[in-house]
Structure 1
C-alpha cells in the first residue's frame, strides 16, 4: 500500500466519531504496522511538561519497558526537547539511544504539535538499517497534523 492510500485510510480512522482517541491512535498504529513492511514498531508517546517525561500511549509491536522516558533521553526524549523530526539511519551510531530491542536498526520520531506546543510524538522502529526516507518523513508529518486535531 502506498502512502497516499494510507493517508486516506488514516484520515478515515481519525475522523471516526464512534471511536475514542486511544482507539483511533491504536487503529492508526495497526494500519501502519500491517501495511508498511519496514514499520516494525509503531507507537505514540505523550508529554507531561510538569514532570518533563514522555508517557507511552497506544502502540503495536514488541512489548517495551520504556513506558516513561525523561525529556532529553533517547531519540524520543531528544525530540521532546528539540521539537524537530529525528531520523536515525543506524541506532548503533547514537550515543544517547535507549535500546528497546536488539532487532531495532533504525528509528524515526516526528513530534505532534497543538497550538505550537510539542504534546507528543509518533515513534517508529525498523529492523532494517536506513529504512526511512523523506517520503516516510513527509507522510508522518502530515499524519501528526491530523492526529493533533484529536487534542
Structure 2
C-alpha cells in the first residue's frame, strides 16, 4: 500500500484517545507490518530516563531478546547517540549490528523527537535485501512526528 494512503490511517490511530498510548503504538506497528510487504518486524524503542539505554516498547514480528539496548550498541543504540536516521541496506556488512534473526537482511531506524530531544525510535527489520528508499525515510519521519504528539 502506498505511503500516502497509510498516512491518514496513522493519523486516525494517533487521534483515538479511547486507546492507551501503548495500544496506539501497537496499532501503528500492526498497520505498517501488514501493509508494507518488506516490513517484517516493526517496533518502538524508548530511552529509559537518564539511563543510557533503550527499552523495547510495542512491536510486531518475531519475538526478540533485545528488550534493553545500551546507547551506542547496534543500529538502534547508534541512533540514540547520533539523533539521525540510519538505513542499513545489508546488515551483514555492519560491524556494530545486533542480530535479531538470521532472516533479517536490512534495517531502518528513525528517531522520535519531543521538544528537540531524542526520546525513542521506530525500528524496522526487513527480510528483503536493500528495500528501503528515501520514501520510507520520509514516511517514517511522518510516523515519528505523529507518535511524538502522544508521548
User: Do they superpose with TM above 0.5?
Assistant: yes
2:42 is the counterpart of 1:33: no
SS in structure 2 at match of 1:107:
strand
Structure 2 unmatched runs, 5+: none
Q: In the alignment, which residue of structure 2 is the partner of 1:86?
A: 86
Q: Alignment partner of 1:104: what SS?
A: coil
- Structure 1 distance, partners of 2:131, 2:120, is 22
CA distance in 2, matches of 1:139, 1:50: 29
Cα distance per residue 1:87-110 (max 9 Å; x no partner) = 000000000000000000000000
**1:57 CA displacement:** 0.1
Q: Which secondary structure state, in structure 1, belongs to the residue aligned with residue 26 of structure 2?
A: helix
1:104 matched to 2:104: yes
- Gap runs ≥5 in structure 1: none
Distance 2:23 2:6 in 1: 17
1:46 alignment partner in structure 2 = 46
Q: 1:49 Cα deviation (Å)?
A: 4.2
Partner of 1:4: 4
TM-score under structure 2 length normalisation: 0.99
Structure 2 equivalent of residue 20 of structure 1: 20
Aligned to 1:125: 125
TM-score (norm 1): 0.99
Q: Residue 138 of structure 1 aligns with which residue?
A: 138
Question: Number of residues paired by the alignment?
Answer: 151
Deviations 1:20-76 (A, max 9, x none): 100000000000000000000000000024210000000000000000000000000
Give the CA RMSD over aligned residues: 0.6
Stretches of 4+ aligned residues off by more than 6 angstroms = none
Task: Give me the whole-angstrom Cα distance separating, in 1, the residues matched to 2:49 and 2:77.
Answer: 12
